[in-house]
A and B are shown apart, each in its own frame.
Chain A
Amino acid sequence: MMGKGGSHWFLALAPLVMVLGLLAPGGWMDSALGFALALIGVIAAALLIARPKYGEHVLGLIALGCGGVAVLVALARQDAPGLEAPGIWIFLAGWVLLLWGRLVALARLDAGRLVALIAPGLFGVALLYLWQVFVVGFGVPQVLLPAPSQVGHVLGTRMDVLWPDFLQTAKAVLAGFVAGCAWGFVVAVLADRIPFLKRGLLPLCGLISAVPIVGIAPIMVMWFGFDWQSKAAVVVVVTFFPMLVNTLAGLAAADAMARDLMHSYAASYFQTLVKLRLPTALPFIFNALKINSTLALIAAIVAEFFGSPILGLGFRISAEVARLNVDVVWAAIAIAALCGSMFYGAIAAMERVCTFWHPSYRS
């Protein structure tokens, strides 16, 4: 980690490199706006060296914002200059140093959950921005890698195609997820009740975790047809085993003392199950739900590669890849990523509510 003295030296490096970039040929003079913004960015970055007591982070944001936009404006005036405009890339290197400094400063903050989201948020936005700048600056062909702005454009204009795709896939994911998790749970409770079943199932589950289950997709498509039912079937099989294994482990997690206590209360099997063992198993069950939320989406999309009606995110991806419309593919992936994260986030939020007593959530 950076010491306090080293950090001053580091903070000074960023504006220095940025100034170097402004001096090198980079087509800065073509646009008064770009040059002005770049200057503001450099000045703000230079002011940061003094480590102002108030408004340090606002100043940092101004420096990053103005510097970043300046590069975009300068690039907009030229046609993919690449290495012919070294100034821009030197400036950008300074900008990255500045970004690193800001992230270090943000990481030092010890504040609430909301502030803890700012650093990764900034990091993500910066990644998108750098992607955009490199694609535009070096004129990367759209077939190889579309710029984020192009993907955003597709997301804005082609929603009429992508929305039904999303609904089709979501139907399969949700139906399969609910059925698979429910089955896994029921079988786990049964296996827990019947030790013979448990002893037979556990080693097999261990083997199956090493098996690429998505491979059953073509068979399910043959059995259940092209529509969403076949995808849901794949999702059921894929989500079943993690749920089974985790629930079994969770049911075994209640400690002996607590069980003895229930025994001394003369609690029946069902009372012990409902009042002690299932609540203790909840963290494990949520673990399985989280694993399954991503598995389900993947399984549904992969199953759609094997044949589907002319709908579905997986179908869209494989069809548009074949036609080299890579921007549509990325848009479909962005949608899948977004709802995958939201699905996961929803389960994580539910977990916080249901297992508020768990040590990992106590402050």
Chain B
Amino acid sequence: MTTETLALPVRMPRLAGARDRVVPVAVILLVALVAWYALAIWLNAPQIQDQALRDNRTLTFSELAQASWAMERPVLPAPHQIAENFYETVFATPIDSRRSLVYHAGVTVSATLLGFLMGSLLGIALAIGIVHLRVLDRSLLPWVIASQTIPILAIAPMIVVVLGNIGLDGVLPKAIISMYLCFFPVTIGMVKGLRSPDPLQLDLMRTYSASQAQLFAKLRWPSSVDFLFASLKVAIATSLIGAIVGELPTGAQAGLGARLLSGSYYGQTVQIWSALVMAALVGVVLVFAVEAVERLARAQRGGR
């Protein structure tokens, strides 16, 4: 199997013109918002109407709409309800409180970052080994690929329980799941990147009688940086998923995953949705952070 045939997400093509981008996005978001409100009426109305029937009242449409956008446990909460809950749990609650969403996000992010760090280092180390040792290329690389066809997340509850049994709990078990998820894109991307210098450049280094270490430091590593950041962006997003799922099955007390789970136990849909919004935000911020580092690294290399 060659790295060319591997499944890796494609890069989004850049679209020109800020205004050309903003208008369509805004329109689609607006359409989505309207559709959401409509969907909320459609999904929540049956409950409201049942209640009205029991009270022997008939509701006008506007009454029905208003009631279905203000339910305590709606099937689908209206966006402003989510926003309200989000504001309350993020800004109106002290950060160290268990009810604060920032606190839960912090717990998840710490596991995400630790796992991302370990996974990236492991991924880079594996890639360096695979590029330099033919044995690893032949016998390890197929397993690195196969490891991703395994639904790794299925192991998550077990890793957490097993590590809990030997007295390891807190951030580390979740970080290990994140690590397992995010080493793969880094390995594959870096194998590609470290092999990206073309034969002419490699030959040139040989005519300089460069050692393997020099070849690595002066040619292979610099030319792999673009690949590294492309895979790091994928890796940090999967790392977040790993951390959240790691919090699910273990009755964890804190973290966005725990928030989702307790929300689903008690039917607190608004809580689930605001945790989801937080998770989405955290994901976007993390990817942007990696992008910012990438821009810094590029600027340092002369903006190539």
How many residues of chain B are within 8 Å of chain A by beta carbon? Answer: 70
Indicate whether A219 sits within 8 Å of B135 (C-beta atoms), given known contacts A211-B284, A337-B150: no
State whether B9 touches A218 (Cβ < 8 A): no
Q: Are A212 and B13 in contact (CB under 8 A)?
A: no
The answer to whether B155 and A333 have CB atoms under 8 Å apart is: yes
Asked if A212 contacts B158 (CB within 8 A), the reply is: no
Query: B138, A107: Cβ atoms under 8 Å?
Result: yes
CB distance from A11 to the nearest CB of B (A): 14
Q: How does the 8 Å CB contact mask read for B1-21 relative to A, with 1 for contact and 0 for none?
A: 010110111111101000011
Docked pose: A206 CA to B240 CA in angstroms: 16
CA distance A144 to B256 in the complex (A): 27
The contact of B8 among A122, A287, A332, A343, by CB within 8 Å, is A287
Q: A210-B287, A317-B158 are in contact. List 9 more A-B contacts (CB 8 A).
A: A103-B138, A119-B139, A120-B141, A204-B28, A211-B280, A218-B263, A298-B154, A302-B248, A306-B264
* Per-position binary interface string of chain A over residues 318-358, scored 1 when its CB falls under 8 Å from any chain B CB and 0 otherwise: 10010010100110110011001101110010010000000
Taking the complex as formed, is B114 at the interface, i.e. its CB lies under 8 A from any CB of chain A? no
Which A residues are in CB contact (< 8 Å) with B9?
209, 242, 245-246, 291
> CB within 8 Å of A: which of B12-46?
12-13, 15, 20-21, 24-25, 27-29, 43
Nearest B residue to A107 via CB reads B138
| Cα(A314)–Cα(B151), bound, Å | 10
Q: How many A-B residue pairs have CB under 8 A?
A: 200
* CB–CB A211/B24 < 8 A: no
Interface core residue of A199, A207, A329, A351 (most chain B CB under 10 Å): A199
Kindly list the 4 A-B residue pairs having the minimum CB-CB distance in the complex, ordered from nearest. Answer: A200-B24, A218-B264, A290-B7, A200-B28
* Residues in chain B near residue A212, CB distance under 8 A: 237, 240-241, 244, 279-280, 283
Known contacts A120-B139, A214-B245; is-contact A196 B24 (Cβ 8 Å): yes
- B65 interfacial by beta-carbon distance below 8 Å: no
* CB-nearest residue of chain A to B234: A209
A residues 166-211 in Cβ contact with B at 8 Å:
196-207, 209-211
Q: How far is the CB of A162 from chain B (nearest CB, A)?
A: 13
Q: Are A221 and B249 in contact (CB under 8 A)?
A: no
Decide if B152 is an interface residue (CB 8 Å cutoff). yes
A41, B267: Cα distance in complex, Å: 63
Q: Could you tell me if A340 and B7 are in contact, using CB atoms closer than 8 angstroms?
A: no
**Contact A348 B157, beta carbon cutoff 8 Å:** no
Residue among B10, B146, B166, B263 with the highest chain A CB neighbour number at 10 A:
B10
Which residue of A202, A249, A297 is within 8 Å of B151 (Cβ)? A297
